[in-house]
Amino acid sequence: MKRAGLIAALLLAASAALPAQAAGPGSFAWPDGHKAAVSLSYDDALDSQLDHALPALDRHGLKATFYLQLSRDPVRLRMEDWRKAARNGHELGNHTLFHQCSGSLPDRAWVEPQRNLDTTTAAQMQDQILLANVMLKALDGRDERTLTIPCGDTRAQDGDYRLRVAPAFVAIKWGSGGVIADMATLDPAAVPVDVPVGVTGAQLIARVEEAAKRGTMINFTFHGIGGDYLTVSNEAHEQLLEYLAAHRDIYWTDTFVNLMRYVRAQQQRPD
């Protein structure tokens, strides 16, 4: 499936839709003296994630979130591999059944007619996303879940579907700008992400260090690791993991559901 134009359209649409966050770090306190949190996530359920990303994460003892598009062959053909990832402490997140995106946006010729968000109702998306939660529970037995919006597109045929499904999730990844500006004003139903493609390890580490300076968090959404599409090399990915493993005292690297469960609890504390 050709997705070369995905990132530009995603970032443009999402940044236009999101309100600006307040600048500068707040007084948010991470546990155990950590200065920042890091969410490593991987979209679309790709073979390279199981073959390259997952072994590297396990080797360094880091936990991540894998957002599964449940209709993809690597889910059907490698179901036990995903179950093993969940047993090892990784999160299996919801990336919908069919990855519906808007076919009317630029560079979207790859969107199949039957999976065009422009011709899918918000109620249909809600039904499919909630069904995806049921299917994911059959894989990992868990009830709490997070969601990543495919392509950053939330406008269905008859309206926005994101807020319809938000009550079913601890948090939703949606929007651009993966380093959070202010944890106090962060909307758990609209957590922006970085979507790295073709970057170096040094560039990834620089984003992590920016989060530490702000005292906030960085949310990465990878696709292919050493293969597939929207690819980051194994070398760059390994450099990032080595850095995070070597600085566990500074960075809390965990599944998105664990990080956002903590964030929501802190946001709800009385002043």
Number of other residues whose CB lies within 10 A of the CB of residue 1: 11
Q: Judge whether 225 and 234 are in contact, CB under 8 Å.
A: yes
The model's pTM? 0.89
At residue 4 the predicted structure's pLDDT band, cuts being 50, 70 and 90, is very low
Instruction: List alpha helices for the chain, DSSP H.
Output: 6-17, 47-48, 54-60, 73-77, 79-87, 122-140, 162-165, 201-214, 234-246, 256-267
Q: What is the pLDDT of residues 57-99, one digit of tens each?
A: 999 999 999 999 999 999 999 999 999 999 999 999 999 999 9
Closest CA to 122 of 169, 154, 97: 154
Query: Looking at residues 237-242, what average pLDDT do you find?
Result: 98
pLDDT at 46 over 80: yes
> E strands along 95-186, which residues?
146-148, 155-156, 159-160, 171-176
Residue 5 has what pLDDT?
44
Whether residue 2 has pLDDT greater than 70? no
Domains and CATH numbers, the chain: 6-19+28-267 (3.20.20.370)
Residue scoring higher pLDDT (17 or 200): 200
- The confidence band for 271, taking pLDDT boundaries of 50, 70 and 90, is low
Q: Per residue in 172-183, pLDDT tens?
A: 999 999 899 999
Pairing of strands 36-43, 65-68: parallel
pLDDT exceeds 70 at position 35:
yes
Kindly indicate the confidence band of residue 27, based on its pLDDT and cuts at 50, 70 and 90.
low
161-212 pLDDT per residue, tens: 999 999 999 999 999 998 999 999 999 999 999 999 999 999 999 999 999 9
Across the chain, what does the average pLDDT equal?
91
Whole-number pLDDT of residue 18: 36
Please report the pLDDT score of residue 204 as a whole number: 98
Query: What is the predicted pLDDT for the residue at 36?
Result: 98
Return the higher-pLDDT residue of 16 and 195: 195
Q: Which residues contact 103 (CB under 8 A, 6 or more apart)?
A: 111, 113, 116, 117, 118
Position 48 confidence tier, pLDDT thresholds 50, 70, 90: very high
> How distant, in Å, are the alpha carbons of 17, 120, 162 from that of 37?
25, 36, 25
